[in-house]
Amino acid sequence: MARVNFKDTRKETRTLAGKPVPVVVTARFARRGRLAVFADGLKSLLSGMRLTFGYLARPSAIVTRQYPENRATLKLPERFRARLRLKFDEHGYQLCTACRLCERACPNASIRILTRPGTLSKNELDRYIWRLDSCVFCNACVQSCPFDALEMTGEFEHAVFDRRLLIFTLNRYAGPPAGVLLKEPDEAKRAAAMEPRDVYGGPVPLNGADLPSVKALAVRPQADPARQGAAPAPGVPA
Amino acid sequence: MTVTVKTLNDIIAPPGAAASALATEEYFINMGPQHPIAHGSLRLVVRLDGETVREVIPVPGYVHRGLEKMAEHLSWRQIIHLTDRMDYLSALMNNWAVARTIEQAAGLATNPRIETIRTLMAELQRLQSHVLWWGVLGMDLGAFTPFLYGFREREVIGEIFEETIGARLTMNYIQPGGLMDDIHPDFVRKTKQVLAYLKPKIDEYDTLLSGNVILQERLRNIGVLPAARAIALGCTGPVLRASGVPYDLRKCEPYGVYAQADFDVPVGAKGDCWDRYCVRIEEMRQSIRIVEQLIDGIPDGPHATVKFGARIKVPEGIHYGQIETARGILGVTIAADGKSDAPYRLRLRSPNFSNLWAVTELARGWRIADIIAIQSTLDLVVPDIDR
Ligand code: SF4
Ligand code: SF4
């Protein structure tokens, strides 16, 4: 028997402010002779060792994950909140109507929505700018969107060498949402209403733009994370 | 009006003569703000006579972010995410404390489903927090293996959160009037699996660390906090209960669905480091018990009674709410002006701040190494002290 028997807890009822509270009093030390204490101490060390070495012998009980070697198989839960993405329908039209509710819900102004007068509608999305560098992944933007136009994706590898690469334009085109576009039967007119937007660039400070003594970003057009959901573009300052 | 600001120099008495026949004198050392046991940036100014501690003066403030002030500029919903960052190991309970206070003040009703899920999540997080505390305590006292084991178990519970909430640390899950999202379809099955996995692990903790003679000798009779002093210092949570006061809000003023669950409040007999250790180990077992009782009976219903976009109207006045987090009582005082969408003033009574000051009394007269044991068993999370 060890000096403390952990099963030696005592159940009782105490009163606190006139109310009975069921308590369990934790175990204390038993008074024992020196020799017994020494023997118990030695035994306790050995049983701890046995447990540790047991794991050495049965490594299957260990849950270490070999990141980044396991990248190919690593699957994050579908609700995982990492990178914000605008949703697009099967035609590639965005669902965002530029209503700005997400911008207002965001606690730290990580979202900036720029609008412009449109051809098919009065007001349309120009740029949806999301600052990953200040986002806290609180999910308020996704929750507040009445058009279900936003989603959080499990893409979590965000390390880049230039801060400016953390400020994204999320929309692929400046133009009206799917609802407005689909009302227009003429394909050509639809296409004319959509002006392509790149991931970086725009008037928000640092959004890929010039800084004193730092040239504007030149981003390789094909490696475009917001569009393919692939690894972040290794955008290189020109 | 003049305000005299006391500096450390005013507080600290000049070093006196040491109690020794040799020509020595007392001296000061700083433990922290960067110190492995601080678990954050906490500075302790320690007055020493040789290796004996004469006085400990905590100097908090290195992680002060002004959450309470920031909250004045955020809406009722937005302040929830700030509370994740106080006691990050009890993020869900912090969310709940603020959400509950807002609900009480604004008269928002919840339903049994919401309350059950909240209770389950809070208990899982209490488990997760204590498991990590156990591992870190081992590491603080020189045993590295428990640290890895603690993280191993923490990970398993973290996966449940990840699946339902989508986050591992900063949850922002419990909202005024409901939850951010419904539980994942796999939640119940996974939780049961995890409980089955965890139960033998806690016995393993006893074999590995609690039974260890070195740990026992480093905790036994060290830093005794008498019940009266614990109450006077405002200590709450396991620190208070280890001193023998069975004050647990889950029992005394049940919130959530704690009243439906059958559990005991672990208390210590003496109030030393060992009791604080044992109380937390026992709390893990009790948390498992609570989750086991509730997991099968999650009632049906919507996961939120208030739509996310809806404006919350808190009437003018001062409102208070409190919750038992893994470290003690988190009290939330809201002053609302009844017009704006944000608190006029928010004040958070954090458990760690009060628990911290126990170290000034507990460490006196013990050795430097005992400060480590005392601080580890107080289980401080520094951002919660500084806010
Ligand atoms: S997740 Fe939160 S912080 Fe990030 S953009 Fe959305 S609302 Fe803003
Ligand atoms: S993402 Fe949603 S909430 Fe934000 S502007 Fe677009 S439609 Fe509105």
Q: Domain segments of chain A: what residues?
A: 4-61, 83-228
Ligand 1 midpoint to CA A80 (Å):
14
Ligand 2 midpoint to CA A165 (Å):
23
pLDDT at site A234: 42
For residue A113, the cross-strand partners are A128
SS3 A41: helix
Number of Cβ within a 10 Å radius of residue A213: 5
Contact B166 A77 (CB under 8 A): yes
Ligand 1 midpoint to CA A112 (Å):
11
Residue to test with chain A: of B149, B216, B219, most A Cβ within 10 A: B216
User: Could you tell me which chain B residue has the CA closest to the CA of A15?
Assistant: B246
Q: Does A192 touch chain B (CB under 8 A)?
A: no
B 147-166 → A contacts, CB under 8 A: 152, 155-156, 159, 162-166
Across all residues in chain A, what is the average pLDDT? 78
Q: What is the pLDDT of residues B167-213, one digit of tens each?
A: 888 888 998 888 888 888 888 999 998 999 888 888 888 888 887 88
User: Could you tell me which chain B residue has the CA closest to the CA of A156?
Assistant: B167
Mean pLDDT of A147-151: 89
Quote the pTM value.
Answer: 0.85
Which of A2-11, B122-131, B175-184 is the least confident region?
A2-11
Q: Do B155 and B123 contact (CB within 8 A), yes or no?
A: no
B 242-271 → A contacts, CB under 8 A: 245-248, 251-252, 263-270
Q: Does domain A83-228 have CATH number 3.20.20.240?
A: no
Mean pLDDT of B10-26: 67
In sequence order, what E strands does A87-169 have?
111-117, 123-131, 150-153, 167-169
* Residues of A in Cβ contact (< 8 Å) with B166: 77, 79-81, 139, 152
CA B78 vs CA A83, B75, B333, B345: distances in Å? 19, 5, 16, 14
Q: Do B68 and B348 contact (CB within 8 A), yes or no?
A: yes
* A120 vs A113 pLDDT, higher one: A113
* Residues of A in Cβ contact (< 8 Å) with B246: 14, 16, 21, 23
* Residues of A in Cβ contact (< 8 Å) with B308: 143-144
Residue B163 has pLDDT above 50, yes or no: yes
Q: Does A161 touch chain B (CB under 8 A)?
A: no
Mean pLDDT of B117-122: 92
Mean pLDDT of B224-253: 89
CA distance linking residue A101 with residue A147, whole number of Å: 10
Mean pLDDT of A2-20: 77
CA distance B56 to chain A (A): 28
Residue A79 has pLDDT above 60, yes or no: yes
Please report, rounded to a whole number, the percentage of residues in chain B having pLDDT higher than 70. Answer: 94
Ligand 1 midpoint to CA A131 (Å):
9
Long-range CB pairs of B78-82, under 8 A, 24+ apart, other chains included:
B78/A105, B78/A107, B78/A140, B79/B342, B79/B343, B79/B346, B80/B172, B80/B174, B80/B175, B80/B176, B81/A107, B81/A136, B81/A138, B81/A140, B81/B170, B81/B172, B82/A107
Question: Confidence band (pLDDT; 50, 70, 90) for A1?
Answer: very low
User: Could you tell me which chain B residue has the CA closest to the CA of A79?
Assistant: B166
Q: Does B278 touch chain A (CB under 8 A)?
A: yes
Please report, rounded to a whole number, the percentage of residues in chain A having pLDDT higher than 90. Answer: 0
CB of A36 sitting under 6 A from ligand 1 = no
CB of A113 sitting under 6 A from ligand 2 = yes
pLDDT at site A72: 84
pLDDT at site B129: 92
Q: Does B74 touch chain A (CB under 8 A)?
A: yes
Ligand 1 midpoint to CA A111 (Å):
7
Which of A150-154, A183-187, B157-161, B294-298 is the least confident region?
A183-187
User: Could you tell me which chain B residue has the CA closest to the CA of A45?
Assistant: B212
Mean pLDDT of A214-228: 53
Mean pLDDT of A152-159: 84
pLDDT at site B18: 64
Across all residues in chain B, what is the average pLDDT? 86
Q: Do A218 and A234 contact (CB within 8 A), yes or no?
A: no
Ligand 1 midpoint to CA A106 (Å):
5
In sequence order, what E strands does A166-212 have?
167-169, 173-174, 195-196
Mean pLDDT of B241-255: 88
CB of A111 sitting under 6 A from ligand 1 = yes
For atom 2 of ligand 2, which residue has the closest CA?
Answer: A145
CA B256 vs CA A108, A134, B78, B112, B361: distances in Å? 31, 34, 22, 8, 35
Structural domains of chain B, with CATH: 8-59 (no CATH), 67-386 (1.10.645.10)
> What DSSP string runs through A45-83?
HHHHHHHHHHHHH-GGG-----TTTTTTT----TT---E
Residue B160 has pLDDT above 60, yes or no: yes
Contact A52 B270 (CB under 8 A): no
pLDDT at site B127: 92
Which of A86-90, B7-11, B328-332 is the least confident region?
B7-11
